[in-house]
Amino acid sequence: MARRAHRRAAADDTDRQCPCGTGTTYARCCRPLHLGVTDAATAEELMRSRFSAFAVGDVDYLLRSWHSSTRPTRLVLDPGQRWLRLEIVGTSRGGLLDSTGTVEFRAHHRRAGQPDTLHERSTFVREDGRWVYLQALPD
């Protein structure tokens, strides 16, 4: 029975569009990052994968992709919040050869049935060679 459920989940991942908005499937886009098969190549890719982790409820990935100096000891996601769509407003640095980068985004969601948008500029840095989320910048 568990084997059948696992196959069904894998099939769903193969066909389901990735929440991050790239237009590709979750299985080909953010899932390999969530599983630790690969690391994000850019700060924007990490931002997209973190949005997807919020959307699919992957707390472990969110904590793993958070800088050690700002990472909370635990993270509890709001079960009444549903992440719907990510809009990248702009990026500064954060490329293949950079060590820091900033991504400005709008994360559209519903909380208790009400639409809302989180608008944030986030800083990303490399830690041990991997991109990680450092902090949100003040407005």
- The arithmetic mean of pLDDT across residues 92-98, rounded, is 97
Where is 46: in which H helix or E strand? helix 43-56
Q: How many domains does the chain have?
A: 1
Q: Which residues contact 117 (CB under 8 A, 6 or more apart)?
A: 106, 107, 108, 109
Whether pTM exceeds 0.95:
no
How far is residue 21's CA from residue 95's CA, in Å, rounded to a whole number?
A: 19
- pLDDT cut 70: percent of the chain above it: 90
What CATH number is associated with residue 72? 3.10.450.50
Q: Domain containing 67: what range?
A: 2-136
**pLDDT one-digit tens code per residue, 4-47:** 333 334 445 668 999 999 999 999 999 999 999 999 999 999 99
Averaged pLDDT score across all residues of the chain: 92
